[in-house]
Amino acid sequence: MNIATKLPQPLSTFEVDVPANTYYDFEVAPDSTYPLKGVTYPVDYGNIPGYIAEDGHELDLFVGNDVDGELGSIVVDRGEAIPNEHKYYVALSKDALNAILEELTPVLLDHKSIVDIPDLLSEIEEYKTRG
């Protein structure tokens, strides 16, 4: 069962794009200098509809299965043509968080823990689409 359904709005609207332990190919051009060609995350990876990140796509979210798990944000370098991008995470075990950080090491710019769900909701509010 997806733990996101037990979280408050808008986290409960989480849509899985890449299920846990599935390889996701970035479809990077062969001549690209971008250091990641694809990733495998240990948890579900997807987005929060109605919230737009710096790359112009819906805000990315990692969702684990540890109800009392880690909350936080990650900032990644998307390359020269795309702004740096924030991604958020909820309910991650320490092992899952470490695995994600390791996958993203070549493009990881920043990582921070967030104390609780209200703080996370406050932080993502700036990404909510208006209109």
- Distance in Å from the first CA to the final CA of the chain: 33
The whole-number average pLDDT for the span 81-89 is 90
d(CA 77, CA 82): 8
For 19-50, how does the pLDDT look when each residue is reduced to its tens digit (9 = 90+)? 999 999 988 888 888 889 999 999 999 999 99
Structure tokens at 28: 């990077």
Residue 104 and residue 78 in contact, taking contact as beta carbons nearer than 8 Å? no
What band does 122 get if pLDDT is binned at 50, 70 and 90? very high
